[in-house]
Structure 1
Amino acid sequence: MVIRRLRRLSLAWSTVKGRRGGFAGSFIAIVAGSAVITACGVLLESGLGTGVTPERYAGAAVVLAAEQSFRLDESSEVRYSERVTLAADRVAAVAAVPGVRSAVGDVSVEVGVLGPDGAAVGGPGGAAGGGPGGAAVGGPRGAAVGGPGGYPVLGHGWSAAALAPLRIREGRAPAGPGEVVLDAGLAARGRVAPGATVRLVTGSIPASYLVVGIATAPGDGLRRQSAVFFTDGQAAALTGRPDRVDAIGVLAEPGADPRELAGRIAAAVPGVVAHTGAGRGDAEFLDVGDARSLVVETAASFGGTMVLIVVFVVASTLALSVQQRRRELALLRAIGATPRQIRGMIGAEMTLVSVAGAVAGAIPGVLLAFAMRGVFVLAGAMPPDFRLRVGPLPVLAALVLCLVSGRSAGWLVARRVARVSPVEALGDAAVEPRRLGRVRLVIGVLLLPLGLLLALGDVAAPGDSAADTAGSAVLLFVVALGCLGPVLLQGAVALFGGLLNRRSTAGGFLAQASARAGARRLSAAATPLAMGVTLAAVQVFAASTTIAGARQQLEDGLRADQVLTAAAGGGVSPAVADAVRGVPGVAVVTPVARTQVLLTFPSEDSTATKAFAAQGVAPERLAETMDLGVTRGDLAQLRGEAVALSRTAARTVGARLGGAVELRLGDGTAIRPRVVAIYEHGLGFGDVILPNDLVVAHTTARADAAVLIRFAAGADPQALRAAVERYPTVRVGGPEAFLAAPGAGGSGDWALSLLFQTVLLGYIAIAVVNTLVMATTARVREFAALRLIGAGPGQVRAMMDGEARIVVFTALLFGLLATAAPLAGVSRGLTGSPVPSISLAGLTAIVAVTVALAWGATRMATRHALRSSARGA
């Protein structure tokens, strides 16, 4: 058996060497597929096993935090948008576990570090002027001293300094509520020395503190944050939750193993998640855990999709290669080769090509992973210091998947060749098969009405969004295009061939004749190009529909005259809204807090959970500052545990007016609010509206993102500006400021989706160029024959230009037609209108890229083939 397989591989190697051009297309497709799969593997492995080195928790053996994710099943989860906290009494329970030397509860509150009016920081005793012992901080009023590289400044209790450990370099530890210690980096940026007075803003409330010490962190110091240390009591008071802690750091007894200690603590203290090693960074930096979860989920999903695409593309290029070898295979069948031998030969050839292509694509795949990481960082989906782990597993996985994909493609192509009888084989070699396989034709035809039903029918049962269901229908149309490609191209030639190519010219006549005789050959290029057009158009036009719908809803619904936002310090404190309510001329004040919530709802035989953007608003006279387009119910009832849902969200979760929904707030707190209103403007204002005080109480910053102001007739706006003078980080702006106000996480989701779609479309583009070059360069004999009967090089080029027109027209026609129903369904689900918003720039780019790919590849390959045919002639 082994000897037989080695002989088969040896024969396959001889075939591959003798027909390098015929296998080049499959090889290139596998190289590109291997690169993408390797890149996904590197991202997946990095998401599972790496992260960011802890800084303030570097000295802790174990860091305990609450569960920051909601588990959907064993393999997937949804991250909470706000930090989930632990009860402060857990600190004593952890300290009692054997092996724990001490346990320290840590709290974090975002702080703005400002200079006093005039930017002078007082010297000893707080006197202004920056005399001996004094230092200057900031610049003009409200200028903030930030963390390194734009990272935040966070306040903590002094006892948490032992977890780094940070040591006092100058001065002493804080002893009273008006005293603070700054980390050395922050002190250097603000030019602060012990004895100086600084203004710190928490929420929006400024207060002066005496700097009594400067602390240094071990190693390179703090690179992802700056730290301000208060007394433990003052830090707890500033958080507004003195009975909660963000995390618990554990200092272990000498010789204790961190992993064993973590296991003992988890067993003794239920409800905590123990982190050791690099995992401590997840507990310290929420953005690291968010990035890890997002990258793992998307890389795994996209990697699986790429395997299917690789199978399709490799099968397409291999089918073209086999078609070019029809004479050879027909001769083998005629002289007695069995179907099994034909399948074995093609399988062995694909084994060699797949292994070589997978290995060749490994290094470009690693480089692609780093390029993708760079895009994630630029888009804010991944922190800049998130490291990639490059190991052998992604390369081995790409090798196995490419080998399986190549062999699967070879098996699909070899089935038809091996079935044909020896007599039919010789006839098959002369003329391209005219009919599609019955199974392929039936599948393609059946997918069309099913796609229409999903896109346009009312089949989005509770648990599914109409827009999501319609968007998923595009996959059915893409597969249908793949199945019916030759038939569609023949139909396009029959209906529009005369318009694309005039039969009165030699080039036009030859192009039409060639297209009719070689429909399968042309469809091998037109079909993946049409699939790329469909995927690109749905991605671009769904985004433009969403953006246009959100903008329109905001323009129609935002009725505020002025908007208050925060420049630093963790948002706009609720105290600001209370203060401006009494300003003369201010008629309505609507504080708005933003977060992300999870809704759990029945789905078939189980339940499903989905994340939604949410806002917390005050219901008093809400319609005067924000029109949500309420269709049912009354927003005045938005008090206590009540909720309003957009039409899309209500349909998704199967909610009804007056009924209760299962909802988890941003920090994981579960409630069952009653639905008091259904509204239309979910794209612009979020799909879930909750009472403002409920949302603020369960956000990390415990602050509003913005405050909407509506003036009474004849009011003086300057009175409002004067009222917020005492809040240095609060800014007064127009309605456009509401759009820039910070929201909940998930900001990088769109970037991930766009990047993966770009990579996918890039792979399809490679496949299209590959196929066109293969199909054109293989026609050397045909070009030579045309030259012999009198056709000039210009007429041959005109024929190929005519074929390129057919390919481009067919790809654009059927690619864009395939998007019509899904985009109508997406638009109807999101905006209520079946007419999507088409981006002219996006449409122009799609057409331009399609033309460039088809014409560029055809022209290049034709020029090469004509040189060869001229020599042959």
Structure 2
Amino acid sequence: MLAIGLRTLRTRAGSFLGAFIMLAIVATVVASAGQLMASALRDPGPGRFARADLVVRAQSEVTLGRGEAQEIISVPRSARVSDATVTKLADLPGVERAVGDLSVPVSVSGRDAHVHGWPAAALTPYRLTEGRAPRMADEVVLDAGVAHGVHVGEAVRVVTPAGVRTLRMTGIVARQPLQSALFMTDRAARELSGGYDAVALTVAPGFDAQALRTRLGPGMEVLPRSEASAADAGNPRALAQEELFAVIGAGGGMTIFVAIFVVAGTITFITDRRRREIALLRAMGATPGQVRRMLLVETALVGLLAGAVGCGGALLLAGTLADALTNVGVAPEGFTVRPHWIAHVVGLVAGTLVALLASLVAVRRGLKVRPGEALVAAAVPQRRLGPVRAVLGLLALGGGVTLVIALSHDATAYAVLAALCFALGVATLSPLLLGHPAALLGRLIGADGASRFLAGAGLATGRFRVGAVAGPIALVVALAGAQVISIATAGEAVREVSAARVQADHVLVASSGGGLPPEIADRLGATGMVATEVFLLDRELSNGSSAWPAAGLDPETLDGTLDLDVRAGSLTDVRGDGIAVSTRLAEAGDVELGATLSARMADAGPRRLRVVAIYERALGMGDIVLPRALALEHATAPLDSAVFVRGHADVEFPTVERLTRADYFRALDSELEDGAQVQWVVAALMLLMAAMAVFNSGAMAAAERRPELVLARLAGATRGQITRAQTIEALATTAVGIVGGVAIVMASLAGIGNDAQAGTLVVPLGQTAFVLALGATLGLLGTLLPAALLGRARLTANAGLRE
């Protein structure tokens, strides 16, 4: 059977070429996603702590929920570490040196940098190239990049969370690629920060790190040098790693799922077309086991060779995806992909295993019956779905229905995932859900005329072939359509709510430095808003999440600047431990006025919060309103993300950008577009896989029909009649696929009326028309191009090839 399998590969090279291409693409996608995930998960490295042996920081994770619903989330920034803790660590036996480290975002002449205490310079090390170390509170040392154009002894203006300071530069250190740095005396830096972010330890040989972890208890973490940069509050990669992994994990998982489905469909189609050949082998004495081994040999050889090619392509694709994620702001600057052998092994094996299973399932019935019955069954077109395929299709459709019903409160967020489930179910059941409508259309078409008769007959008898081509078309339209409409709907909802909430005449934002010092809002008597996050503990939330975006506000300044549309209670009570929650959160967690919530703040600090108000207009701001002082105390950086001003905003400040109301909403549109780009980067791979499936299925379907077209020519049909018939079939198949895709989009968005964040359903006509045109173009090219190439060949040359 090995020899037969190798000979079959040579004689059916065209069919196996389609499988080879799809398997290679799948291996490329799987290995690329694996490379990105491995790169996001790899040890962050020592970073600025290259000379430290261990780094101690406060707990950086919050445990939410209980039992099977328990979830561990990394907080943006750990709580501060006190001077007493640094002293305690320095006095431990075996600790040679303990250095408190902190990082505060600042802006120096329009360039972003981070403040550190001078003792921490030795941890990297940053070495002086000019001048001396800072000794006084008004002295600083800059790295060469930040100090560009400034000389030792000159004054520099530094925008800090405490305001603008004019400091004298006493020295310059060599620039490091890690981050731009500004060094002050340890005391001056600590006054800005409020405490240390971490403590770097230099220890004697043989020091027991595990004993230190036990001694410090669960509230503190001890990191080895290989993971030390995770404790650097100014490390952009550490801050972005969780978001990057979430995007890659969700997008990569969905893409791999689509890729596996495409491979299974391709192999099933190829194997199903060989029913007569397999039945003939059975009639000649081949046992079911021998046939299985032949299929395994064929598929394994194609899969492994294609996997090797795909893994090579993954090196290029992973780098391209990393650049795209960096450009849209998901991955930090300097994020690079490092090859990992596990990703290549998974990419090499995954597609091959799926192909092997698909080929065995496809011939399952032909191997169970007697040889004579197999010959009879192979002589007539397949009319029924196999039980495995039917069950898988129904499960996929059931998954889509479950998502639409159970998560209707967040319909826009899960629309694409629901569309994916529906599309995979429809494609799996395509002979029934798409083939039958095409057959009905074929009977209507085939009323008169030779070309229409041929097209009608082909559609009526080729339900499985039509379904194999129309399914990927529906997948393209469904994924792209759901993406377009869900993004447009969610974006319009944010715009509408923001327009009603923001009443300020001007909005101040930071042109650099990551935010505005709180003193600006205090000086103007304006509304400063601190963007942060709150984690609610031990509360059953119907949205499945306990991490909520929050905003720190001073309620006394809201008049004429922000209108949150309060539905219960009063915002004037938002002080101390009093908070306001959105109607969405209140409904999700059954929260009422006066309720007390156990929470962790953005730095993992525990807090008991009391609900004093419930408001409506949360989109684009946050579902929890905290007292501004409390938010500043626990925020990643003690800065206002924006300041809302009633009337004229007369302020002179180095990093302030003053926006009119119209400017603010234009900036909001730009921010929404950036968020959409992130989603499209994720969706691009899925659409690529689906588009390739259209061409691959079209090519295999055209090759399958070769003997049929030969017989038509021998019966007297002209080349023109056959071409017109194929065109009619292509139009009908494409139309059925597009209609199926549109139906899937409508089903995936059926629960949008229950989504409080969605507002009115928005269907952008231009983008929707583009999606439909894309589906039509792919469908027609994928079917007509292979048919045209087949038409150019001499159809009568191998009339009896398959027989």
> Under a length normalisation based on structure 2, what TM-score does the superposition of the two structures give?
0.91
Aligned to 1:223: 177
Q: CA deviation at 1:517?
A: 0.5
Aligned to 2:492: 548
Contact persistence 1:16–1:23 (CA under 8 A):
yes
Give the Cα separation in 1 of the matches to 2:100 and 2:417: 46
Structure 1 residues 75 and 38 mapped into 2: Cα distance closer, same or farther (>3 Å)? farther
Task: Report whether the alignment pairs 1:194 with 2:144.
Answer: no
Instruction: Give 2:7's match in structure 1, choosing from 14, 39, 44.
Output: 14
Contact persistence 2:497–2:617 (CA under 8 A):
yes
What SS is found at the alignment partner of 1:673?
strand
Task: Report whether the alignment pairs 1:276 with 2:224.
Answer: yes
Instruction: Give 2:454's match in structure 1, choosing from 480, 497, 510.
Output: 510
Q: Kindly report which structure 2 residues correspond to 1:204-243, keeping only aligned pairs within 5 A, or say none.
A: 205-211=163-169, 213-217=170-174, 221-239=175-193, 241=194
Task: Report whether the alignment pairs 1:659 with 2:585.
Answer: no
Aligned to 2:529: 592
What SS is found at the alignment partner of 1:683?
coil
What SS is found at the alignment partner of 2:150?
coil
- For the aligned residues, what is the CA RMSD? 3.2
How many residues end up aligned between the 2 structures?
792
Give the Cα separation in 1 of the matches to 2:36 and 2:20: 24
Instruction: Output the amino acid matched with 2:227.
Output: G
What SS is found at the alignment partner of 2:746?
helix
Structure 1 residues 570 and 481 mapped into 2: Cα distance closer, same or farther (>3 Å)? closer
Instruction: Give 1:102's match in structure 2, choosing from 76, 87, 97.
Output: 97
Q: Kindly report which structure 2 residues correspond to 1:626-641, keeping only aligned pairs within 5 A, or say none.
A: 626-641=562-577
Instruction: Output the amino acid matched with 1:276.
Output: P
Q: CA deviation at 1:750?
A: 5.8
Aligned to 1:477: 422
Q: CA deviation at 1:378?
A: 0.8
Q: CA deviation at 1:683?
A: 2.3
Q: Which moved more, 1:746-755 or 1:526-535?
A: 746-755
Give the Cα separation in 1 of the matches to 2:606 and 2:624: 15
Q: CA deviation at 1:437?
A: 3.6
Instruction: Output the amino acid matched with 2:747.
Output: A
Give the Cα separation in 2 of the matches to 1:380 and 1:842: 24
Contact persistence 1:563–1:707 (CA under 8 A):
yes
Instruction: Output the amino acid matched with 1:18.
Output: T
Task: Report whether the alignment pairs 1:35 with 2:2.
Answer: no
Q: CA deviation at 1:300?
A: 4.4
Structure 1 residues 66 and 656 mapped into 2: Cα distance closer, same or farther (>3 Å)? same
Aligned to 1:64: 56
Aligned to 1:683: 619
Instruction: Output the amino acid matched with 1:166.
Output: Y
Contact persistence 1:381–1:749 (CA under 8 A):
no
Structure 1 residues 819 and 630 mapped into 2: Cα distance closer, same or farther (>3 Å)? farther
Aligned to 2:785: 860
Contact persistence 1:468–1:826 (CA under 8 A):
no
Instruction: Give 1:332's match in structure 2, choosing from 281, 302, 305.
Output: 281
Instruction: Output the amino acid matched with 1:763.
Output: M
Q: CA deviation at 1:690?
A: 1.9
Give the Cα separation in 2 of the matches to 1:250 and 1:678: 47
Aligned to 1:422: 371
Q: Kindly report which structure 2 residues correspond to 1:113-262, keeping only aligned pairs within 5 A, or say none.
A: 113-114=108-109, 144=110, 146=111, 152-187=112-147, 189=148, 191-203=149-161, 205-211=163-169, 213-217=170-174, 221-239=175-193, 241=194, 244-253=195-204, 256=205, 262=209
Structure 1 residues 843 and 773 mapped into 2: Cα distance closer, same or farther (>3 Å)? same
Give the Cα separation in 2 of the matches to 1:441 and 1:168: 71
Give the Cα separation in 2 of the matches to 1:795 and 1:540: 39
Contact persistence 2:116–2:181 (CA under 8 A):
yes
Q: Kindly report which structure 2 residues correspond to 1:768-807, keeping only aligned pairs within 5 A, or say none.
A: 768-807=694-733
Give the Cα separation in 2 of the matches to 1:864 and 1:77: 56
Contact persistence 1:381–1:748 (CA under 8 A):
no
Task: Report whether the alignment pairs 1:571 with 2:507.
Answer: no
What SS is found at the alignment partner of 1:154?
strand
What SS is found at the alignment partner of 1:356?
helix
Q: Which moved more, 1:276-285 or 1:31-40?
A: 276-285
Q: CA deviation at 1:301?
A: 4.7
Task: Report whether the alignment pairs 1:266 with 2:213.
Answer: yes
Contact persistence 1:772–1:857 (CA under 8 A):
yes
Give the Cα separation in 1 of the matches to 2:159 and 2:491: 35
Q: CA deviation at 1:551?
A: 1.0
Q: Kindly report which structure 2 residues correspond to 1:432-581, keeping only aligned pairs within 5 A, or say none.
A: 432-437=381-386, 440-441=389-390, 444=393, 451-452=400-401, 454-455=403-404, 457=405, 459-460=406-407, 465=410, 472-493=417-438, 496-497=441-442, 501=445, 503-581=447-525
Contact persistence 1:787–1:793 (CA under 8 A):
yes
Structure 1 residues 866 and 747 mapped into 2: Cα distance closer, same or farther (>3 Å)? closer
What SS is found at the alignment partner of 1:225?
coil
Aligned to 1:136: none
Identity %: 32
Give the Cα separation in 1 of the matches to 2:450 and 2:461: 16
Structure 1 residues 333 and 25 mapped into 2: Cα distance closer, same or farther (>3 Å)? same
Task: Report whether the alignment pairs 1:757 with 2:683.
Answer: yes
Note the residue ranges of structure 2 that are not aligned, 5 or more in a row. Answer: none
Q: CA deviation at 1:505?
A: 4.1
Give the Cα separation in 2 of the matches to 1:193 and 1:803: 76
Structure 1 residues 838 and 749 mapped into 2: Cα distance closer, same or farther (>3 Å)? closer
Instruction: Output the amino acid matched with 2:314.
Output: G
> Deviation per CA, 1:390-448, whole angstroms, max 9, x where unpaired?
13221112223223212221222121222343333222222212223456557656875
What SS is found at the alignment partner of 1:614?
strand
Aligned to 1:644: 580
Task: Report whether the alignment pairs 1:815 with 2:741.
Answer: yes
Aligned to 1:88: 83
Give the Cα separation in 2 of the matches to 1:576 and 1:90: 33
Note the residue ranges of structure 1 that are not aligned, 5 or more in a row. Answer: 1-7, 115-143, 147-151, 582-588, 712-716
Q: Which moved more, 1:389-398 or 1:72-81?
A: 72-81
Give the Cα separation in 2 of the matches to 1:451 and 1:109: 46
Aligned to 1:79: 74
What SS is found at the alignment partner of 1:206?
strand
Contact persistence 1:204–1:569 (CA under 8 A):
no
Q: CA deviation at 1:595?
A: 1.6
Q: CA deviation at 1:840?
A: 2.1
Task: Report whether the alignment pairs 1:362 with 2:330.
Answer: no
> Deviation per CA, 1:174-210, whole angstroms, max 9, x where unpaired?
22222222233322x1x22232222222126222222
Q: CA deviation at 1:494?
A: 5.3
Give the Cα separation in 2 of the matches to 1:160 and 1:747: 40
Task: Report whether the alignment pairs 1:374 with 2:323.
Answer: yes
Contact persistence 1:661–1:673 (CA under 8 A):
yes
Instruction: Give 2:47's match in structure 1, choosing from 41, 45, 54.
Output: 54
Contact persistence 1:34–1:362 (CA under 8 A):
yes
> Deviation per CA, 1:728-781, whole angstroms, max 9, x where unpaired?
3333321245558899x9999765543232112211211221111011023222
Instruction: Output the amino acid matched with 1:67.
Output: Q
Give the Cα separation in 2 of the matches to 1:746 and 1:13: 54
Structure 1 residues 859 and 482 mapped into 2: Cα distance closer, same or farther (>3 Å)? closer
Contact persistence 1:171–1:194 (CA under 8 A):
yes
Give the Cα separation in 2 of the matches to 1:307 and 1:471: 15
What SS is found at the alignment partner of 1:185?
coil
Instruction: Output the amino acid matched with 1:207.
Output: R
Instruction: Output the amino acid matched with 1:185.
Output: G
Q: Which moved more, 1:481-490 or 1:542-551?
A: 481-490
> Under a length normalisation based on structure 1, what TM-score does the superposition of the two structures give?
0.84
Give the Cα separation in 2 of the matches to 1:655 and 1:23: 59
Instruction: Output the amino acid matched with 1:428.
Output: A
Give the Cα separation in 2 of the matches to 1:844 and 1:742: 25
Structure 1 residues 516 and 767 mapped into 2: Cα distance closer, same or farther (>3 Å)? same
Contact persistence 2:420–2:478 (CA under 8 A):
no
Give the Cα separation in 2 of the matches to 1:661 and 1:750: 33
